[in-house]
Every structure is written in C-alpha cells, then in structure tokens.
Chains A and B, each alone.
Chain A
C-alpha cells in the first residue's frame, strides 16, 4: 500500500468514525433533553395503578365496553384507549356500543371534564348503571340490557 493510499484510507476511516461519534453525540443530547421534559410520554406507567381497582371487578372472559370523552381518531384519545387496553389486558376493550360488548363498560375520562356530569349524562342517555366512579377519571358502568 503506497503512502498516499494509506493516508487516504486513514482519512476515510477517521471520517466514518467521526461522523458516527458526532451522530451519536447529537442523539444523546437530544434524547436526554427530550426525556427530561417528557418522561413516559404516553403515561402508560400511570395506567395500571389507575385501572387496578376496576380491573379487579371485571371478568376476563367477555369483551368490556369502552367510553371516553377523548376521540379515538385523535392522538390523545388513541393513547388513552391503548393505555386502558394495556392496563386491563387480557380483557378485550371494544367501543361500548359494539354488539359484542359484554355486561360492563369502562369509562376513561380526562381531567378537563366534570366527572359527575359526564357520568350521569352517559348513564341517563345510554341506559348504563354506575357501579364505581373513581376520582382519577375511571368509571365502571354496568349495562343492564346485556347478560
């Protein structure tokens, strides 16, 4: 290998190593900054304790209805649904008006709604009976029409 080839190969190898180190350093900085501001961004870690009491009342072998003030088509609504589904698995969550929904419906409400207002309105409009309403926005309903 000639002198110039050796120099060129060292240059190329050095540039590759430096670009990798630079990319990783940028990623490290961006990641730590993001993580400091957004721990558990989808709040999945909060969902299991939040749904624990309701989970203990729900059967495993029938689909559970799901209702929320947050639309599934929006990011917050989808994250709320999947957070609840993860916390309540292996129970299957389906929209509360799904024909396969079982006797129970879980309500998952965000902090900006008046829980007693939304709960009583849902109970009245949909014929649901409130079994448990927790301060954390989780409500358990029973649908008397389903056996």
Chain B
C-alpha cells in the first residue's frame, strides 16, 4: 500500500503544474477540463519526479529524506504559485451539442471499464512482475538505480548488453523513486505505475474529445481504445509502450487545448494589419 501512496505526491505535483498553466481553464464541460488537467498532470508528475530523482542520483544525494524534501518543496512552490495561475478566459467556450443517447453510451462505458478493471485485477494477482521487458529492462534498471553510492551508474553499464542499457530512464527512475519512498522493493510500485498510465490514457483521450467534440465523441473514442485488445493486453506487462502512448497523446492533446483556448478565439485576436 505504501508504494502506491508514494505515487500521490507525483500526481499532485503534476496536477498543480498543469493547473498553474491554465491550459484547460475556461473550457466546457467543466468535468472534462478537470479530467484532462488531472490526466495530463499524472504524466507530468511522473516526468518531474523521475527527473528530480535522477538529478539527486547525479548529485549523490538520492536518499529517501532528500527525495521527500525536494518533492515537498516543489509541491509548496506550486501551491504558492497557484495564486498567479491563469484563469479561464470569459466567456468560456460553448459546450458542443449533446448526443441524445449519451446515457446509454455512459452505461456501456461503465460496463467496459468494469470489465477492464476485472481483467487487470486478475493480471495483477497472477503476474505482478509483469512481462519480459518489465523484469528484464524497466524494473531491473530501477533496482540498479537504488544501488548505494555511485553504483547506480551500473544501470547504464555496457555490460548489461542483454537488457538495453541505452533505453531512456524515465520509467525506471520513477519506479526507483517510488520504491525509495515506499522503503520496499515490491511489485506494487511498477504495477501501480502501469495502472496510473493505463488510467491516464483513456481519461485524457475521452476528456480531450469531450472538450472538442462533445461527450459522445469522447465515449466513442474510449470504446475504440478499449476494443484494441493488443493495446490493452500491454497494461499488466508493465512495458514502456503505454507511458509512451500517453506522452504522444498528451503532446497532441496540448496542441488541441491550445486551439480550443477561448483566449485564442479569432474575435479576441488583434486585428490583422491593413
């Protein structure tokens, strides 16, 4: 349970940072703007805390106390900065017209998500260590990053030629940071990380489309995503493909949010020069 709780500061950090940017401020429906902010924040929080863990390793200061101190300082700074956050421009964007059978789609989405949760619960019980790349690359490298002193550098040793020492360290650093905070190396942390991204992808996809094209479009996109079982199968594997897909989606999502920003509507732009 503690490793799972150790995810919370990361998510809170990312949420505060995205909220501060005001990227979804003023967009309607409000729930979609909030889900979008939270899901973008989850991925950003993972990135921030993985990066600060790597910096602490580089400085030779990656103790549990230092990780907690840095994250609390970042949290405090972001909470303080909220007073300067960009508010939603008024008037807010008009919500797209509602599809008459949204209730049916919502019920179906609830059933689909329940099936997904049941499937993942079975996977988590049966194979908590994930699949090949999890124990041979990502989580293995996280164990190296927990080594005392300068031995964390062995995570990128060319002697690990069978486990791709050239692969990026975001996921491994985040898992190592979560193990460090939780004080125990258990499969709970990488599993929770996998589920965090697995939840953030459909949440972000649905909310982005709900903001731009309405709830029905968001739910239809969710159905298409959940019907892609070759993608869904990867969630319990704990591979980097799901986080990568999140960051790709987030990149396009941020561009879309910029286009939806009421402050950027044509009537608010300065007149074109004659």
Contacts and interface: CB of A to CB of B under 8 A. Distances in A.
A44 B223 contact: no
A42 B125 CA distance: 14
Contacts of A89: 140, 143-144
Contacts of B224: 16, 20
A90 B144 contact: yes
Contact of B227 (A19, A45, A63): A19
Contact of B223 (A17, A28, A92): A17
Interface in B91-150: 99-101, 104-105, 108-109, 111-112, 115-116, 118-119, 122-123, 125-129, 131-132, 135-136, 139-140, 143-144, 146-148
Interface stretch (A31-39, A109-117, A127-135): A31-39
B132 A42 contact: yes
A90 B154 contact: yes
Secondary structure call for the A interface? helix
Given A13-B216, A13-B220, A39-B126, 17 more contacts: A10-B101, A16-B220, A17-B105, A19-B227, A20-B108, A20-B112, A21-B115, A27-B119, A28-B118, A35-B123, A36-B126, A42-B132, A44-B135, A82-B162, A86-B129, A90-B144, A90-B146
Contact of A82 (B140, B152, B155): B140
Interface in A63-115: 63, 72, 81-83, 85-86, 89-90, 92, 94, 98, 100
Interface of B: 99-101, 104-105, 108-109, 111-112, 115-116, 118-119, 122-123, 125-129, 131-132, 135-136, 139-140, 143-144, 146-148, 151-152, 154-155, 157, 159-160, 162-163, 187, 216, 219-220, 222-224, 226-229, 232-233
B116 to A, nearest CB: 6
Contact of B139 (A39, A42, A86, A100): A86
Given A31-B123, A86-B136, A20 B104 contact: no
Contacts of B143: 86, 89-90
Contacts of A26: 229
A60 interface: yes
